[in-house]
């Protein structure tokens, strides 16, 4: 099956955000990946609810919202109201992860959990059956354009084993440093969703670049 492609709007031209979203609408992208950063959980600030709501106004594809923030439980309902169809929180930011996952599901959104590069897959053992998506960070979160961490391949394999063992329906999403060179290997290891930011938006032809990623797994 071809992978789900979720271009990261963080790498878009913010001065022409509507145009960029309309370009993604015309492309073979499946989701729009929305990176929310608070300057506390990660050393960067991106954008928040008003910008997400503006994107949603023009988007014709689901918003895959990645909350890189502390205390995400305080804002789940607002992000859902601003158009999120998938809400992903970081395992490292949630003392009561099961409660936050249930909070997300209660809004009607799909629930995802993200893991930083140093966080082992095993921390999801008791919750993998309850979640819809695992976002494996293949760079340290906070900035676009970083180099892909090679250990990600082993992590995907371990995560796939855990998903199969627990009969979970969770999708595996890879976020960071995804490009034409590593996409096929990621898919072969078990990745279902590829997040691509700079690789898409800095391309001469972003629509063709998305199509190339989409066709890798077919």
Catalytic residue among 30, 35, 38, 192: 35
161 is catalytic: no
35 is catalytic: yes
- Asked whether the CA dihedral 208, 177, 35, 174 is positive or negative, the reply is positive
Give phi and psi for 120, each to the nearest 5.
Answer: -75, 150
Rounded distance between C-alpha atoms, residue 171 and residue 64, angstroms: 13
- Residue 207 token pair: 């629509």
Give phi and psi for 129, each to the nearest 5.
Answer: -75, -15
**Nearest Cα to Cα of residue 189 among 160, 209, 150, 149:** 160
For 126, the enclosing helix (H) or strand (E) is: none
The DSSP output letter for 137 is E
Rounded distance between C-alpha atoms, residue 207 and residue 189, angstroms: 26
CA distances for 186 relative to 99, 197, 215, 218, angstroms: 31, 16, 14, 14
Catalytic residue among 30, 64, 132, 175: 175
Residues designated as active site: 35, 175
């Amino acid at each position: 099956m071809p992978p789900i492609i979720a271009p990261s709007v963080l790498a878009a031209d913010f001065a022409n955000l509507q145009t960029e979203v309309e370009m993604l609408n015309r492309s073979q992208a499946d989701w729009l990946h929305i990176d929310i950063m608070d300057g506390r959980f990660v050393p960067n600030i991106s954008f928040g609810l008003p910008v997400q709501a503006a994107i949603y106004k023009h988007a014709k594809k689901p918003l895959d919202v990645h909350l890189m923030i502390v205390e995400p439980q305080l804002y789940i309902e607002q992000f859902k109201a601003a158009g999120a169809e998938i809400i992903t929180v970081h395992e490292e930011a949630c003392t009561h992860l099961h409660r936050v996952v249930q909070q997300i599901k209660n809004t009607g959104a799909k629930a995802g959990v993200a893991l930083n590069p140093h966080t082992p897959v095993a921390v999801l053992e008791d919750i993998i059956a309850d979640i819809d998506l695992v976002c494996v960070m293949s760079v340290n979160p906070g900035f676009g354009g970083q180099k892909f961490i090679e250990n990600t391949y082993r992590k995907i394999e371990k995560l796939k084993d855990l998903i199969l063992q627990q009969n979970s329906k969770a999708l595996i999403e890879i976020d960071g440093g995804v490009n034409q060179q590593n996409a096929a290997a990621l898919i072969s290891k078990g990745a279902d969703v590829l997040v691509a930011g700079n690789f898409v938006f800095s391309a001469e032809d972003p629509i063709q670049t998305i199509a190339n990623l989409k066709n890798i797994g077919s």
